[in-house]
Chain A
Amino acid sequence: MAMPRSWSNPLRSLSRAACLAVLVAVPLDASASLSAQPGAQVAFTASGPGGLKIVGTTSELTALDDGQTVTVTVTLTHLSTGIDLRDRHMRDKYLETPTYPTAVLTVPRASLALPTPGATQAADLQGTVTIHGQTRPSTFHYAATSANGAYRVDAKLRVNMRDFGIVVPSYMGVTVKPDVDIDVHFAAADH
């Protein structure tokens, strides 16, 4: 998987390495520091009539821990569904990525807990989601597994396009459902 684009600048990477944290499982121990590893995968899954399933994927994910809030940012400008025309519709007509290039999930750091080595920590948490320039509260499920000093983080949430002011996509008589499932997978390492 491609490395997050924001890591391509060494200076930014250095500063971010000090504050990057995983979406979940951040302990209140101020000495702990986590950073996301290459290999993130984010999938947006929409469904439509007759069993239609559209999956848009990207690996452009960053996470920031400021001590109060963990912020996970997904860059949408290269979100790909595998069909160029559909991607263009998605970017320009629905997500309007030139104006709103990112989707952001924020979580209070205090609500997160790290799993003990060899264990898995899973829970449903409250956070806020910002897509298409609009912020809404959202409940998401996460699971973090600790192994060999690293953490594998999987998170799932469902959003409704209408809640974020996104026009429900419709093309040539095929209209997708407004609910979109978002799956986030990334690894994090202890520092």
Chain B
Amino acid sequence: MLIAFRWRAVLASLAVLFLLLVAKPASAYPWMIRHEYTGCGQCHVDPDGAGLLTEYGRAQGETLLRTQYTAASPDEEPGRVKDFLWGAVKTPEWLLLGGSFRPALLAVSLPGQALDVTPLVMEADLRAGIKYEGWRASASVGVVSEAGSLASIAGPVVSREHWVGYTWGDESLMVRAGRINLPFGIRSIEHPLWVRAMTRTDIDDNQDHGIAFDYSGTLFRASVMGILGNYQISPDAFRDRGYAGFLEMAPLSRLAIGVSSLVVHTEKDLDLGVPDWRQAHGAYVRASPFKALVIMGEGDMIVNTVTPSSASSVGFASMLQADVEPVQGIHLIATGESLSPGGLAPRSSFGAWASVHWFFLPHADVRFDYIYRAQANGEAPPPGTLGGGLTTASSASIPVTTYLAQLHVYL
């Protein structure tokens, strides 16, 4: 009876967890390395990528991202259609405006249950930024369809990022303060990937307030952030404090290799409900052996140490992804991932993604994902012990199949 109860609880938890995790992505395309863009600062106000686009980024979106339908178009100027609201509104050079709207249909299949189909508004954000001489600033505000976002400022109203900074040295150096995406690993839009979810470094709502120092050079780029906590949640005991950072080297125009590190302490961990030290240390690679193919991989060791007992778990999350673009604008993406939570959960979970992403019109793309996960079965570990997720020593795995269709339009 108890086992049956737990099994149902796990299934329900998995469905809810995935739904929450899959929602609300922002745009970040690390596969732009195929065009020899190893860094991000030319296209995004955030030098580490994602979020508000610069004018140059908007031009690349029109020139390089979307499908071109005429033979002569690859070297055509992008025109005003690239601009805010497709060029309907002319903004001054120093002011950057943007926004994203991403409705979706999510279907989750769990053993013994009917297919659960849920319409979602994954993202409905407006963004504004400033690029004036050395000053940089970026802020977003939006609404989400479910409560409890870590980016919430009032119920369903969220602000994922808001920061101000100053850049110098031909924009190679920047210092900024505010709510900032954590600099760790590959900054991609696939938030539910275990490398993002388990390290809590996604660009959905896992930003923190703090001070970041960024360096962007032709051979190296790096960022380190002093984390002061997420001041959009309370009480203060929930706030992480520590650092996160990465160092990346691009020895070739289409090859980038990086290492990441994160150490934070919280008085009351959001998942465990107890004081703990949380660490993640890992490495990643982005490589494009030829223009049509980008391979990305990341592996992260995840260490949780509960205080004052000093009970620790050492887990590992990894992912390997191949992005093939046979025709400009159409991406065929295969992703594999694994999670070994460690601690009381010796069993591993595995996932496989098959995705199609098509940038079919100016400012618009559609994406379809099929995601199969063999998720280690179990229960949440009790406070004071560590399992790193929905895991236990039980012998079974839960097969979870997810279908996701989404439309993305940016302003």
Q: Taking beta carbons and an 8 Å cutoff, which residues of A are in contact with B?
A: 47-55, 81-85, 87-88, 171-174, 177
Q: Report whether A85 and B291 are in contact in the complex, using a CB–CB cutoff of 8 Å.
A: no
Closest to B57 in A: A172
Chain A residues positioned under 8 Å from B170 (CB to CB): 48-50, 177
Tell me the nearest residue of chain A to B221, going by C-beta: A51
Is B36 a contact partner of A50 (Cβ separation < 8 A)?
Answer: no
Contact B38 A51 (CB under 8 A): yes
Residues facing A in B36-86 (CB within 8 A) are: 36, 38-39, 41-42, 47, 54-56, 58-59, 63-64, 74-77
* Contact indicator A173/B54 (Cβ below 8 Å): yes
Q: Which residue of B lies closest to A83 (CB)?
A: B35
A85 and B74 contact, CB distance less than 8 A: yes
Say whether B77 contacts A85, CB under 8 Å.
yes
A55 touches B36 (CB 8 A): yes
CB distance from A151 to the nearest CB of B (A): 26
Chain B residues 148-205 with CB under 8 Å of chain A are 170-172
Q: How far is the CA of A52 from the CA of B57 in the complex (A)?
A: 13
Are A48 and B36 interface neighbours, CB within 8 A?
A: no
Q: Which residues of B contact A85 (CB under 8 A)?
A: 63, 74-77
Chain A, interface SS category: mixed
Shortest A44–chain B CB gap in Å is 13
A174–B56 CA distance with the chains assembled, in angstroms: 7
Q: Given the complex, which residues of A lie within 8 Å of B133, measured CB to CB? A: none
Q: Is B253 an interface residue (CB 8 A)?
A: yes
Chain A contacts of B217 at CB under 8 A? 51
Contact of A52 among B39, B58, B131 (CB under 8 A): B39
Q: Are B216 and A51 in contact (CB under 8 A)?
A: yes
Q: Are B56 and A173 in contact (CB under 8 A)?
A: yes
- The contact sample of 5 A-B pairs, CB cut-off 8 A, is A49-B171, A51-B38, A51-B41, A81-B36, A85-B75
Question: Across the two chains, which residue of chain A brings its CB closest to B215?
Answer: A51
**How far is A156 from B405 in the complex, measured between Cα atoms in Å?**
51
Beta-carbon contact of B75 and A49 below 8 Å: no
Interface residues on B, range: 20 to 34
Across the interface, do B59 and A171 meet the contact criterion of CB distance under 8 Å? yes
Contacts of A51 in B (CB 8 A): 38-39, 41, 172, 216-218, 221
CB neighbours (8 Å) of A84 from chain B are: 74-75
Closest CB-CB distance, A149 to chain B, in whole Å? 31
Supplied contacts A48-B42, A174-B56, 18 more A-B pairs, CB within 8 Å: A49-B172, A50-B41, A51-B39, A51-B41, A51-B217, A51-B218, A51-B221, A53-B38, A55-B36, A81-B36, A82-B36, A82-B291, A84-B74, A85-B75, A88-B75, A173-B54, A173-B55, A174-B42
Interface of B is mostly: loop
Beyond A49-B172, A82-B36, is A172–B55 a contact (Cβ under 8 Å)?
yes
Within the complex, the shortest CB–CB distance from A107 to chain B, in Å, comes to 29
A83: B residues at CB distance < 8 A: 35, 63-64
CA distance A81 to B64 in the complex (A): 13
* Closest A residue, CB atoms, query B64: A83
What is the chain B residue whose CB lies nearest that of A87? Answer: B75
CB contact under 8 A between A49 and B63, given known A82-B35, A85-B77, A88-B75: no
Give, as a whole number of angstroms, the nearest-CB distance from A144 to chain B: 25
Give min CB distance, B219 to chain A, whole Å: 8
B217: shortest Cβ distance to chain A, in Å?
Answer: 5
A81 and B39 alpha carbons, distance in the complex (Å): 16
The one of B47, B56, B218, B253 in contact with A172, judged by C-beta atoms closer than 8 angstroms, is B56
Chain B residues whose CB sits within 8 angstroms of the CB of A171 once the complex forms: 56, 59
**Which residues of chain A have C-beta atoms less than 8 A from B35's C-beta?**
82-83
Q: What's the nearest-Cβ distance from chain A to residue B169, in Å? A: 9
Most buried by B among A47, A50, A172: A50
For A55, what are the chain B residues with a Cβ–Cβ distance below 8 Å? 36, 253
**Interchain CA distance A50-B173 in the complex, whole Å:** 8
Complex: how many Å from CA A50 to CA B37?
11
Question: How far in angstroms is the closest Cβ of chain A from B76?
Answer: 7
How distant is B245 from chain A, measured CB to nearest CB, in Å? 17
Q: How far is the CB of A97 from chain B (nearest CB, A)?
A: 14
* Chain B contacts with A in 284-298, Cβ cutoff 8 A: 291
User: Which residues of A sit under 8 angstroms from B47, Cβ to Cβ?
Assistant: 50
Contact A50 B74 (CB under 8 A): no
Q: Select the residue from B35, B42, B216 with max chain A CB neighbours within 10 A.
A: B42
Instruction: Kindly state the separation between the CA atoms of A57 and B93 in the bound complex, as whole angstroms.
Output: 33
Q: Is the CB of A47 within 8 A of B218?
A: yes
Return the chain A residue nearest B93 by Cβ.
A173
Q: What are the residues of chain B within 8 A of A82 when measuring CB–CB?
A: 35-36, 291
Which chain A positions have C-beta within 8 A of B131?
A: 173
Neighbouring A residues of B42 by C-beta, 8 Å: 48-50, 52, 174
Within the complex, what minimum Cβ distance (angstroms) separates A46 from chain B? 10
A50–B59 contact, CB under 8 A?
no
A21 to B76, CA, bound (A): 41
* Cα A52 to Cα B74 with chains together (Å): 21
Chain A residues with Cβ below 8 Å from B39 are 50-52
Name the residue of chain B whose CB is nearest to the CB of A49.
Answer: B171
